Chains A and B, each alone.
Chain A
Amino acid sequence: DGGITQSPKYLFRKEGQNVTLSCEQNLNHDAMYWYRQDPGQGLRLIYYSQIVNDFQKGDIAEGYSVSREKKESFPLTVTSAQKNPTAFYLCASSIWVTEGEAFFGQGTRLTVV
């Protein structure tokens, strides 16, 4: 079945450590996104990528980094510079230009202690 896979579902890290969240899709979508979700805040865009080896900052990119070396993969690194990293992280993808709607993974809940 086609879809988006995020791993792990739950992740615990100590403060000051970098952590990488995985996102893989087999939908052959060009565009991929990372959103952060906090209670009562909706979804806020961290980074997005329209094509391999290209990505753009979203509204809250500070303290995060991404790479897009393969069409299928868009990992997100939460660095120690992110002041409040505990949140629910959602990865999404969409067909570039023609459809627009985003398909979401199941999310990763990151807790930093």
Chain B
Amino acid sequence: AQSVTQLDSQVPVFEEAPVELRCNYSSSVSVYLFWYVQYPNQGLQLLLKYLSGSTLVKGINGFEAEFNKSQTSFHLRKPSVHISDTAEYFCAVMAGWSQGNLIFGKGTKLSVKP
């Protein structure tokens, strides 16, 4: 069975600073990886996804993530954050295309301060 660990439950950062949200996964088979963002009292929106190919994935709102198979990681990065990036971010993993096996981490709350 696969699992996802988001290493930080909260990340405070100042506006225009860089940020990295960490995600590690475990799986005995090949995986597909996702990052979602959730604003208060709303659903989740896909930021980016890794299915295959280039290990550096670019997403919306200036975010990017790098798939590292040897370290089983999929960390999310942004070089300069804005106040509007304040939200909760979820890493998710799917083992193959078996529906129902989209497993989420517990989330990281990003708080951007002026």
Contact = CB atoms under 8 A, between A and B. Distances in A.
Interface of A: 4, 6, 31, 33, 35, 40-45, 48, 50, 56, 58, 90, 92, 94, 96-97, 100-107, 109
A41 B106 contact: yes
Contact of A56 (B42, B90, B100): B100
Given A40-B107, A42-B105, A90 B43 contact: yes
A105 B43 contact: yes
A107 B42 CA distance: 6
Interface string B70-114: 000000000000000000001000100101101011110000000
A42 B41 CA distance: 14
A6 B42 CA distance: 11
Interface string B7-37: 0010000000000000000000000101010
Interface string B30-53: 001010100001111110010100
Nearest to A97: B97
B100 A45 contact: yes
Nearest to A96: B99
Contact of A42 (B42, B94, B106): B106
B43 to A, nearest CB: 4
Contacts of B104: 35, 42-44
Nearest to A41: B106
Given A31-B99, A90-B43, A101-B46, 20 more contacts: A4-B43, A35-B104, A42-B90, A42-B104, A42-B107, A43-B90, A43-B104, A44-B104, A48-B99, A58-B100, A97-B99, A100-B32, A100-B49, A100-B51, A101-B34, A103-B46, A104-B36, A106-B42, A106-B43, A109-B41
